[in-house]
Amino acid sequence: MTEVTNSDAGWLSREDMDAARDRLPILYIDAVPVRVDDHGTVTAIGLLLRLGEDGQVKRALVSGRVLYHERVRSALLRHLEKDLGPLALPRVPPAPQPFTIAEYFPTPGVTPFHDPRQHAVSLAYVVPVEGDCAPQQDALELTWFSPEEVREPSVLAELANGQSRLVLQALAHLGV
């Protein structure tokens, strides 16, 4: 019987991941969770509260790596469940289409998006969720904001690494 290792599941060791981040753009997904009414109108946008690697508490979108040999749709579902809990009931279509692509650079100012660890290319999606959300793992809480509230400068300032730009792009994409 073959033993399954983390590398078999698409995970790299810390050293291998650091080496890859130094040499390659890494594929990520960003998801903007939303609540919609019976007519499909967005009524709320969900933002996570996370403790960053720098020790600061910041708002964030659902985000994470796409693993080797993993479909983008599967990565979306995995990260939504990881951050929002197994009862969030995300409605990810069979063939999801990103509303934009964000390029995160380790050098600030190249794009509005910054990730000090790596050059990452992120496919960004709006995902309606219907169930009960209970933040999991490194997500401390989830707060639902109305479209008007999420545009407040004080809320946008709480988002790290340029993700406020993604929230505004998501709202524009939705016509909200």
Q: Is residue 9 assigned to a domain?
A: no
CATH code, domain carrying 77: 3.90.79.10
Q: CA of 124: how far to CAs of 22, 46, 56, 97, 101, in Å?
A: 23, 15, 24, 9, 6
Place of tokens 């994470």: 64
How sure is the predictor about 9, in pLDDT bands with cuts at 50, 70 and 90?
low
Whole-number Å distance between alpha carbons of 140 and 135: 6
Q: Is residue 96 assigned to a domain?
A: yes
CA dihedral of 114, 162, 173, 44, whole degrees rounded to 10: 130
The model's pTM:
0.86
Q: Is residue 130 assigned to a domain?
A: yes
Q: Is residue 3 assigned to a domain?
A: no
Instruction: Domain of residue 30: give its range.
Output: 21-174
The pLDDT score that the predictor gives to residue 12 is 78
Q: Is residue 162 assigned to a domain?
A: yes
The domain total for the chain is 1
Q: What confidence tens digit (pLDDT) does each residue in 113-127 have? A: 999 988 999 999 999
Q: Is residue 42 assigned to a domain?
A: yes
Q: What confidence tens digit (pLDDT) does each residue in 38-84 have? A: 999 999 999 999 987 778 889 999 999 999 899 999 999 999 999 99
